[in-house]
């Protein structure tokens, strides 16, 4: 837990008890607990949003080759249609 050992945690608790006092210590503990819970909830929500965006990106990455294939097929068809059109006859110019 944050690189703090048991002995350091006990020393911190004793100092907090002396500085804050036994009456306010439970209240401060509750406030800190609520704060940590809210931080954890917010980070979980952010993780879920990032994961959803990554999944969305993966879906788009899978669709790109399919769409490129569709574009190439459409382009090939348009080129074939262009080659099937008879060459235009020359129109005499008016003088």
Residue written as token pair 């060459």: 87
Q: Where are the domains of the chain?
A: 12-71
pLDDT at 60: 85
Contact between 17 and 9 (Cβ < 8 Å): no
The angle at the Cα of 42, spanning 37 to 44, to the nearest 5 degrees, equals 95
Measured CA to CA in angstroms, residue 44 lies from 28, 39, 51, 95 at distances of 24, 9, 10, 81
Q: Which residues of the chain have pLDDT under 50?
A: 1
Helix/strand/coil for 50: helix
Per-residue model confidence as pLDDT tens digits over 28-51? 889 989 999 999 999 999 999 999
């Amino acid at each position: 837990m944050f690189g703090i050992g048991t002995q350091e945690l006990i020393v911190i608790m004793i100092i907090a008890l002396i500085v804050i006092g036994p009456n306010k210590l439970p209240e401060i503990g509750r406030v800190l607990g609520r704060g940590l819970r809210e931080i954890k909830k917010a980070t979980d929500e952010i993780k879920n949003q990032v994961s959803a965006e990554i999944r969305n990106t993966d879906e788009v990455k899978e669709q790109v080759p399919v769409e490129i294939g569709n574009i190439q097929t459409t382009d090939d068809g348009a080129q074939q249609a262009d080659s099937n059109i008879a060459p235009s006859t020359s129109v005499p110019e008016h003088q």
